[in-house]
Amino acid sequence: MDELVMVEAVSRRFPLDHSEVRALDGASLRAQRGEFLAISGPSGSGKSTLLNLIGCVDKPTSGRIVFDGADTSSLNPSQLSALRRKKIGFVFQTFNLIPVYTARENVELPLLLQGMSASERRSRAMAALESVGLAERAQQRPDLLSGGERQRVAVARAIVHRPALVLADEPTANLDTHNATQLIDLMRELNLTLGLTFIFSTHDQRLLEHTPRIVRLCDGQVVEDLHHAEVAHA
């Protein structure tokens, strides 16, 4: 494995009236290619903020983030957009599927943004849906899918362009135990079989029990970095 993400002494502050909120306060971590890494902590600890920074959706107030060898602070908005489009897949807790599109059309979206031909988009989208066990539901719109199926479509959309990194923000938050367990197993299988790097935020113990590395945040700071043997006894 080699290093994919380096977060170095990153802080993110937001103005609030006459003061400010420190969502992150000097947080640092490194993630290798092929890792399956959870960012955990209580509500307000900075989990989503950290994911947004790693995903180049936001910029840190101080510190730096190096992604796939590039210092993201040196990239202009067009370069950051290209990096997100080509190298990062996103999974959201609310699925963020377009309701008037079929499952296949939703999965095709990242490829459409890359200007890929219609035939190749369809082929890649169907392969991605097959990998999450939903090829037979390709023509269904989101309102005809269960919550677990919708999240699996979201995972297929996140991996269809073969990104270097998949970021998932509380991916099991809106799922019951059965569907959450299926999603966890799916993500871990994609991580192991395809070598996809996953970094996700969660406070869901069901997901943490299947995670070989957990970085815990509290008040915007990294307070623990636990690996599998430690997690088993934590």
Secondary structure of 139-198 in the HEC alphabet?
CCCHHHCCHHHHHHHHHHHHHCCCCCEEEEECCCCCCCHHHHHHHHHHHHHHHHHHCCEE
pLDDT higher than threshold 50 for residue 234:
no
Q: What is the pLDDT of residues 196-207, one digit of tens each?
A: 999 999 988 888
β-strands 36-40, 213-218 pairing? parallel
3-state class (DSSP) for residue 67: strand
Average pLDDT for residues 130-154, to the nearest whole number?
Answer: 95
List the domain boundaries for the chain. 34-52+79-233
Q: What is the pLDDT of residues 5-47, one digit of tens each?
A: 999 999 999 987 778 889 999 999 999 999 999 999 998 899 9
Confidence at 174, pLDDT banded by 50, 70, 90: confident
CATH node for 34-52+79-233: 3.40.50.300
pTM: 0.91
Q: In terms of C-beta density within 10 A (0-12 exposed, 13-18 middle, 19 or more buried), how is residue 180 classed?
A: buried
